């Protein structure tokens, strides 16, 4: 669906690591979330305004991660995001995390997000005007 991946730079901080200086597995989700959020912002979607004006929010409904290599303290990384599919109330993303200096793949992921009503958390159709063709 998307041709070029959206790429967002992230840095590994001490708070992201375990005692050995390796990124704790759950912290990778933060890096991926930042890339998706910044991608939305780059195409003009302000999530706070979407909730306030339309009563809609995005939630992750499923994800699959493949850890390839560890990220470590002070690493500069690139988190990418590609919208692979948009259907009904669902967005499917493919994402990667790579070292900024070498391009080495550290993690790849598939993330399903759902558009839901902010009050009921029931699925809501994606407004057509949010994602122009």
* DSSP reduced 3-state for 40: helix
pLDDT number for residue 124: 96
User: Does any domain span residue 132?
Assistant: no
The domain of 62 spans 6-127
Residue 108 lies in a domain: yes
CATH number (domain holding residue 61):
3.10.129.10
pLDDT in tens, 38-50: 999 999 999 999 9
Distances (CA, A) of 28 to 22, 57, 116, 117: 11, 22, 24, 27
Confidence band, pLDDT 50/70/90 cuts, at residue 132: low
Inside any domain, residue 133: no
- Where in the sequence numbering do the catalytic residues fall? 18
* Residue 1 within any structural domain of the chain: no
In the chain, the number of structural domains is 1
pTM of this prediction exceeds 0.95: no
User: Does residue 79 carry a pLDDT above 70?
Assistant: yes
Q: Is 2 a residue whose pLDDT tops 70?
A: no
**Amino acid 1: pLDDT:** 57
């Amino acid at each position: 669906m998307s041709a070029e991946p959206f790429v967002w730079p992230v840095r590994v901080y001490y708070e992201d690591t375990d005692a050995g200086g390796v990124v704790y597995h759950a912290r990778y989700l933060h890096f991926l979330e930042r890339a998706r959020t910044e991608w939305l912002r780059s195409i003009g979607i302000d999530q706070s305004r979407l909730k306030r004006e339309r009563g809609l929010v995005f939630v992750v409904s499923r994800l699959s991660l493949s850890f390839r290599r560890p990220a470590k303290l002070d690493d500069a990384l690139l988190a990418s995001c590609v919208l692979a599919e948009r259907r009904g109330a669902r967005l499917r993303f493919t994402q990667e995390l790579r070292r900024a200096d070498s391009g080495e793949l550290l993690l790849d992921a598939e993330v399903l997000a759902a558009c839901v009503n902010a009050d009921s958390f029931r699925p809501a159709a994606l407004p057509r005007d949010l994602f122009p063709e």
